[in-house]
Amino acid sequence: MSLEGKLALVTGSGRGIGRAIALKLASQGADIIVNFFRHRDSAEQTAKDIEALGVKAEVIRANVGDPVKIDEMFDTIGNKFGRLDILISNAASGVGRPVVDIDVKAWEWTMDINARALLLCAQRAVKLMEGRGGKIVSISSLGSRFVLPNYTIVGVSKAALEALTRYLAIELAPQNICVNTVAASAVETEALKFYFKEGLVKDNRQATPAGRMVVPEDVANVVAFLCSEEAFMIRGQTIIVDGGTSAGLFTLAGKGE
């Protein structure tokens, strides 16, 4: 699989899953636009590591929860490159609360970053993919279909993301744009430590049938495949990367030991 000459935007790629995806696509020859919001140092480091692989990296700061910032980011990409081949909508945020404590602010914050950003980024990306086709891959989680403690808003936002992926896939198919999402269980990242603290995710590393936690590279490998021509006939799908957790309900309930 080669992505030589392709240009990919990976939102939230300073750290964690986004960084692993950016490095994976770069290792296959793609130039990468590293988007970040809160951690410039991490984004600069990701860019350095991408360049060390012999491809180009561009760092752009933007809060994808803000439509104006999304527009500014795509204006920059349009002016500088005039094209885009791959959009990875990875940036995510969340507020961990029981259902009864969810307020409008927490709901909108999470939905705007996790779900609406895919819509707005895809709308702008399509224009830069015109006449050349492209790939759009977003990152979801098992919480879209299974109930996790205090995970309501994030889970609902990911369900919206998966539904949106199906609509985008069908409507953009005539433009030769493949759209899919990759849903992971708890992935071993810095963010996970935060989720443990917030009570969003339980430590289930012992209960994963594959015998270890999902790591960012596991997700990145599937994303890279979906960005390849070999995956041309996969459209509108949610591909689960969870080491088997969701296939055995007893493991999801944390009783797999």
Partner 1 sequence: MTVEEQVRDIVAKITRVDKSIITRQSTFKEIKADSLDVVQALVAVEETFGIEIPDEEAQKFQNFGDFVSYVESRVAQEEKV
167 carries an active-site annotation: no
Written as six digits, the tokens of 72 are: 């500014």
* Shortest separation between residue 38's beta carbon and partner 1, angstroms: 6
Q: Is 191 in the site for partner 1 (CB under 8 A)?
A: no
Work out how close the CB of 152 gets to partner 1 at its nearest, in angstroms, rounded to a whole number: 14
Question: What proportions of the chain, in percent to the nearest 5, are helix, strand and coil?
Answer: 50, 15, 35
Among 105, 178, 118, 186, CA closest to 151: 186
Q: Is 24 a catalytic residue?
A: no
- Tell me if 39 contacts partner 1 by CB under 8 A: yes
Q: Verify binding: residue 105, partner 1, rule CB under 8 A.
A: yes
Longest pairwise C-alpha distance within the chain: 54
Give me the sign of the Cα torsion angle 120, 122, 125, 129.
Answer: negative
For residue 126, give the amino acid letter.
V
With CB under 8 A as the contact rule, which of the stretches 6-14, 103-111, 201-209, 249-257 interacts with partner 1? 103-111
Give me the catalytic one of 6, 24, 69, 158.
158
Q: Pick the binder of partner 1 from 57, 95, 126, 139 (CB under 8 A).
A: 95
Residues 43-62 that bind partner 1 (CB under 8 A): 61
∠ CA(239), CA(89), CA(126), 5° rounding? 105
Site for partner 1 in 63-92 (CB under 8 A): 63
Among 102, 106, 119, 159, interactor with partner 1 by CB under 8 A: 106
Q: Rounded to an integer, what distance in angstroms lies between the CA atom of residue 182 and that of residue 227?
A: 12
Smallest gap from residue 105 Cβ to partner 1 (A): 7
- Could you give the angle at which helices 104-111 and 152-172 cross, rounded to 10 degrees? 40
Contact residues for partner 1, defined by CB under 8 A: 38-41, 61, 63, 95, 105-106, 109
